Chains A and B, each alone.
Chain A
Amino acid sequence: MNYEIVCGIETHIELATKTKIFCGCTTEFGGEPNTHCCPVCTGQPGSLPILNQKVVEYAIKAGLALNCKINTKSHMDRKNYVYPDLPKAYQISQYDEPLCEKGYIELDSGKRIGITRIHIEEDAGKLIHESGLTYIDYNRSGVPLIEIVSEPDISSAEEAKEYAEKLQLIMRYIGISDCKMQEGSMRCDVNLSLRKPGDPRFGVRTEIKNINSLSFIQKAVMAEAERQADILDAGGTVVQQTMRYDEGTNSVTPMRDKENSDDYRYFPDPDILRFCVDDKKVEEIRESLPELPFDKLKRYMNVLGLSEATAKQIFRYRMVAEFFEDTLAEGASVKNTANLIVVTIFSNMDTEEEKELFAIRISAAQFAALVKLADEKKINIGVAQSTLQKMLESGKPVEEFIKPEDLVGISDEALESLCKEAIDANPEAAANVRNGKDKAINVMFGYIMKKTGGKADIRKAEVLLRKLIRQ
């Protein structure tokens, strides 16, 4: 039997603010347990929350980048449930007045996956279970999150992965989160049900919680779709429940019931005033957004004329794209700049992480100085690559490796005199060339390359040599 996948994804993203959402404690990762804490984030009796402005700003950035409508009026609600990692026994979140609503992400196919809403909320603390004891660390308690809820528009495992990948890229680009799935700063919950093609009704859905890598999203969707199909094929019914994806066995299994029922008794938090963000502010935030990744990709291909493959390699990483564009701004050529980044700089970076960080020891201006030498044919591309490698290793500018006199040595006049020298030094070879033994020209090439340390433009030299020999 064939089924249609109906899938929606809820994504929690940790915002890269300096302080927590309701207190001034640092959000810095790590730290000794319970050292990034205060009365507010440990739920001390009598403490009160004060909303962080940056959290609202970042959530609006996310909303604008995902084509959402921004609610200029918004408020915080309490979501009540008791669990040891939640010190107030309620999570301050947003229920019926989220900051952003009704956006979308466009897939490569042109299909749009709707974004239902984006709201802000606080993270919980961390529990460690060990030999009959539970240890609790509230350092993460109160770290700001946005929750991005998609419409159930996703209909394949590939689409699920693409959606999450694009979301991650956009969030990283606008600088509101590092979105590291392994470290938990981006976590996905997948809702999935099956239905017969053409059936307007939804089937019973399950929720797979806390998936922590992009490829697992794809695998989990496949595994769960298969599991549900097997049940339906056998005439059974799917039970609505919370599931867990096990990467080891590539299977989806029901999670131990988290005791709580799902009656969260949401109500507006009386400690936090409703807040408004006027249109002017929203516009200000919109203007502060960088060019979004997929707009950039299009521009790289259509305006800059990069190949799709090269453009995709550069646009993926915000820091790389910035470096690329800064180099162009210094007057370097598109082709050589892109080429040197993709071939030479990337060869020094093994992981995605390194490309993401793009910690290199030279500035765009220094890089441009090198590229321009290649652009002006003062050095050939091979020399540019090897020089760049030396620059990257030492952090030193191009002048350290290519002296002005080196460049003078291969100016047009210098090259011409070098060619004459080569002919004078190899009269036999010159005669052979004159007599039609074309290969003999290689002797002169060898002479010139040796003298210039490989810096001469060999095609120019060939033209000159032939001219001189004919004279």
Chain B
Amino acid sequence: MFVSSGDLTAAAVRKGVRIMAISKTEIEKLAKLAKLSFTDEELERFTAEFDEIIAFADTVNQSIEGGTEQIRSVDARMVSFDDLRPDEVVPSLPNDKILSNVEGYNGFFKVERSKK
């Protein structure tokens, strides 16, 4: 999967050829996924900045071939079945704690579906 660590450096140096520039439409699509909205002015600025950040991230993409393998490392820490949490009830917190950071209603969290 790796070209080799020596080539890794070489690949990093070779950076510069960008695969793709990001379009405004794509930024808008991402914003929708991220539940963010941008004004037109912000969007312009953001698209430009984002282009550069992506170029920076692209050094990773271009440094190695492949990338379709499993991403789990062989020696990553694992936990055995016996060390998982036993199924024993722990008292929950009182409702007023759970709702302590908002105005609730009869124990519920509450959101108006629209607000002027």
Binding site for B on A (CB under 8 A): 17-19, 23-26, 32-39, 42, 50-57, 73, 75, 82, 84, 96-97, 128-129, 132-138, 261, 263, 265, 268, 273-278, 281
Would B81 and A53 count as touching, CB distance under 8 A?
Answer: yes
A137: which B residues are within 8 A, CB to CB? 107-109
Would A24 and B88 count as touching, CB distance under 8 A?
Answer: yes
Would B33 and A33 count as touching, CB distance under 8 A?
Answer: no
Complex Cα spacing A135 to B80, Å: 39
- A56's contact among B77, B78, B84, by CB below 8 Å, is which? B84
Complex Cα spacing A52 to B93, Å: 19
Binding site for A on B (CB under 8 A): 32-33, 35, 70-72, 76-82, 84-90, 92-95, 98-99, 104-114
Would A132 and B107 count as touching, CB distance under 8 A?
Answer: no
Contacts A82-B35, A128-B108; is A23 near B90 (CB within 8 Å)?
yes
A17: which B residues are within 8 A, CB to CB? 87
Would A35 and B79 count as touching, CB distance under 8 A?
Answer: no
B90: which A residues are within 8 A, CB to CB? 19, 23-25, 38
Name 9 A/B residue pairs within 8 A (Cβ), A-sorted: A18-B89, A23-B90, A33-B107, A34-B109, A53-B84, A132-B114, A135-B105, A274-B72, A276-B81
Complex Cα spacing A51 to B87, Å: 9
A275 to chain B, nearest CB (A): 5
Chain B, residue nearest A31 (CB): B92
Query: Could you list 19 further interchain pairs (A-B, Cβ under 8 angstroms) beyond the known A136-B109, A281-B81?
Result: A19-B88, A26-B89, A32-B107, A34-B99, A35-B94, A35-B107, A39-B93, A52-B85, A96-B70, A128-B108, A132-B112, A134-B110, A134-B113, A261-B32, A268-B71, A268-B72, A273-B78, A275-B80, A278-B80
A36: which B residues are within 8 A, CB to CB? 92
- B95's contact among A34, A55, A132, A133, by CB below 8 Å, is which? A34
Would B80 and A132 count as touching, CB distance under 8 A?
Answer: no
Would A265 and B33 count as touching, CB distance under 8 A?
Answer: yes
A25: which B residues are within 8 A, CB to CB? 89-90, 92
Interface class of chain A by DSSP: loop
Would B89 and A24 count as touching, CB distance under 8 A?
Answer: yes
- A34's contact among B76, B84, B107, B114, by CB below 8 Å, is which? B107
* Interchain residue pairs A-B with the least CB separation, the first 3: A24-B90, A53-B84, A54-B87
A259 to chain B, nearest CB (A): 9
Complex Cα spacing A338 to B23, Å: 73
Would B77 and A273 count as touching, CB distance under 8 A?
Answer: yes
B34 to chain A, nearest CB (A): 9
- A51's contact among B85, B95, B107, B108, by CB below 8 Å, is which? B85
A261: which B residues are within 8 A, CB to CB? 32-33
Would A19 and B87 count as touching, CB distance under 8 A?
Answer: yes
B81: which A residues are within 8 A, CB to CB? 53, 56-57, 275-278, 281
Would A275 and B93 count as touching, CB distance under 8 A?
Answer: no
B105: which A residues are within 8 A, CB to CB? 133, 135
